[in-house]
């Protein structure tokens, strides 16, 4: 069973949604192998209905023909408007009324046939094959077979370009994000369906909005793991656009997906619990929208002695959560090292007023901290980065105050600070 589409629109993309074997006979005509589709959709009429439905969704306007061989389907699609289903064995009868020009014979052959008065396929089909072979040679014989719908051949399959993008022109400029979400949902639906039919997923979505001011607003959404979760993509795009809204109403939307192989992970009974990557991305996007992007991530210590130095890494956290294989038990780093006294840091450090007696702090007052120093240890003098433009040095004290808490205070230009409390 073969199907042929002749008309306007992205015929190739439509054909690839239904079959991996697609031949493009002309820019406006494609033929694809429809064998096996009956298991998915049912009888031929249902297959035709499914193709037409999808064509309507993707904006394709084309004639559709289904036949037992590709050339009969191609002739019918070119010759008849709408949907044609050619019954097997009756192709010659079905195609008979079509003009001979549909078969695109060579000019000499066409001239000869016209002189013979043969203008329709049924006229050519009725001629005896032996006589045709004697007078017109192999080309004439092939043309007769085409006219009878009897040519059996394999399709010259196209290599599907792994390029997944879709775009939509607005009828009027869209100002709000909510109506834009409907457009994005439609584009995402098409893209994810096309990716799914090829057994692919995506790990990157690129959105390009053309604005009324003729400027472009571009956003790229990188996912920690390949996925096809259309609802998650839509929510992520909505959150991203809410955080970075376009500066003017939108006229044109183009959405592109980076095709990659889907993530195949075998979970085991004893594999530790970990969040599902796309769901985690969505959760983090929601939290980032609330508290700010720079405030969410995995802390990473920086290779310096500067107090309080760290950086935030979201990628490292995703890598760690995605790791499912069992690692050897941690020995020194990452293992339980006994209970350690933890410091609670005041960010920023609280400016303090410190009374000194015998060269030592005796009274400390700062925001939320006030008391007589009962016991203390220090000073611990530290310094670093003196070879850079941003050197630091400080004298640290661990103190027990009369308010009942333990603090770390330090003296550094321009004065005294409470760094945090031991807890």
User: Which residues inside 388-417 make contact with another protein, applying CB under 8 A?
Assistant: 398, 400, 403-406
**Pick 9 or 378: Cβ nearer another protein:** 378
The CB-of-307 to another protein minimum distance in angstroms stands at 8
C-beta atoms surrounding 255 within 10 Å:
24
The CB-of-352 to another protein minimum distance in angstroms stands at 16
The CB-of-379 to another protein minimum distance in angstroms stands at 10
The CB-of-22 to another protein minimum distance in angstroms stands at 40
Site membership for another protein, residue 86 (CB under 8 A):
no
C-alpha distances out from residue 311 to 179, 294, 299, 359, Å: 38, 10, 6, 36
The CB-of-205 to another protein minimum distance in angstroms stands at 20
The CB-of-195 to another protein minimum distance in angstroms stands at 24
Site membership for another protein, residue 41 (CB under 8 A):
no
Site mask for another protein (CB under 8 A), range 307-336, x = bound = -x-x-xx--xx-xxx----xx-xx--xxxx
C-alpha distances out from residue 118 to 8, 76, 114, Å: 31, 19, 5
C-alpha distances out from residue 13 to 51, 111, 292, Å: 12, 38, 40
Near another protein by CB under 8 A: residue from 61, 119, 344, 381: 344
Q: Please tell me the distance from the alpha carbon of residue 392 to that of residue 306, in angstroms, as a whole number.
A: 8
Question: What is the β-pairing status of strands 360-366 and 2-8?
Answer: unpaired
> Is 299 buried (19+), middle (13-18) or exposed (0-12) by CB count in 10 A?
exposed
Q: Please tell me the distance from the alpha carbon of residue 214 to that of residue 210, in angstroms, as a whole number.
A: 6
253 close to 184: Cβ distance less than 8 angstroms? yes
User: Which residues inside 361-380 make contact with another protein, applying CB under 8 A?
Assistant: 375-377
Site mask for another protein (CB under 8 A), range 257-296, x = bound = ---------------xxxxx--xx-xxx-xx--xxx--xx
Q: Please tell me the distance from the alpha carbon of residue 93 to that of residue 87, in angstroms, as a whole number.
A: 10
Cα 165 to chain centroid, rounded: 10
Only one of the segments 181-189, 198-206, 225-233, 343-351 lies at the binding site for another protein (rule: CB under 8 A); that segment is: 343-351
Dihedral class, residue 57 (left if φ above 0, else alpha if ψ from -120 to 50, else beta): alpha
The CB-of-360 to another protein minimum distance in angstroms stands at 11
Near another protein by CB under 8 A: residue from 345, 362, 385, 415: 345
Where on the chain is the footprint of another protein (CB under 8 A)?
272-276, 279-280, 282-284, 286-287, 290-292, 295-301, 308, 310, 312-313, 316-317, 319-321, 326-327, 329-330, 333-347, 375-377, 398, 400, 403-406, 420-423
């Amino acid at each position: 069973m073969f199907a042929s589409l002749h008309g306007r629109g992205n015929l190739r993309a439509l054909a690839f949604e239904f079959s991996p074997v697609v031949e493009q006979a002309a820019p406006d005509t494609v033929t694809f192998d429809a064998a096996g589709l009956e298991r998915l959709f049912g009888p031929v009429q249902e297959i035709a209905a499914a193709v037409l439905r999808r064509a309507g969704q993707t904006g394709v306007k084309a004639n559709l023909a289904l036949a037992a061989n590709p050339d009969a389907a191609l002739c019918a699609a070119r010759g008849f408007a709408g949907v044609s289903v050619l019954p097997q064995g009756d192709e010659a009868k079905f195609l008979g009324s079509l003009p001979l020009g549909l078969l695109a014979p060579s000019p000499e052959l066409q001239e000869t046939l016209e002189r013979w008065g043969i203008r329709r396929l049924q006229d050519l089909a009725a001629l005896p094959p032996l006589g045709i072979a004697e007078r017109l040679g192999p080309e004439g014989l092939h043309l007769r077979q085409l006219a009878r719908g009897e040519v059996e051949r394999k399709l010259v399959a196209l290599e599907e370009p792994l390029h997944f993008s879709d775009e939509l022109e607005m009828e009027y400029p869209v100002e709000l994000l909510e109506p834009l979400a409907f457009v994005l949902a439609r584009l995402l639906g098409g893209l994810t369906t096309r990716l799914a039919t090829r057994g692919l997923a995506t790990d990157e979505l690129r959105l390009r909005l053309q604005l009324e001011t003729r400027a472009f607003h571009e956003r790229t959404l990188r996912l920690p793991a390949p996925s096809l979760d259309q609802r998650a993509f839509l929510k992520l795009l909505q959150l991203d656009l809410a955080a970075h809204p376009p500066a003017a109403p939108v006229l044109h939307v183009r959405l592109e997906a980076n095709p990659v192989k889907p993530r195949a992970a075998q979970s085991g009974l004893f594999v530790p619990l970990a969040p599902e990557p796309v769901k985690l991305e969505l959760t983090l996007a929601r939290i980032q929208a609330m508290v700010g992007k720079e405030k969410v991530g995995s802390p990473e210590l920086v290779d310096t002695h500067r107090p309080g130095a760290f950086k935030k890494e979201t990628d490292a956290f995703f890598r760690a959560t995605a790791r499912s294989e069992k690692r050897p038990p941690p020995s020194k780093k990452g293992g339980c090292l006994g209970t350690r006294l933890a410091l609670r840091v005041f960010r920023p450090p609280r400016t303090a007023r410190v009374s000194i007696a015998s060269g030592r702090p005796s009274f400390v007052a700062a925001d939320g901290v006030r008391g007589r120093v009962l016991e203390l240890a220090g000073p611990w003098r530290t310094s670093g980065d003196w070879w850079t433009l941003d050197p630091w040095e400080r004298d640290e004290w661990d103190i027990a105050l009369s308010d009942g808490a333990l603090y770390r205070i330090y003296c550094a230009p321009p004065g005294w600070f409470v760094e945090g409390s031991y807890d």
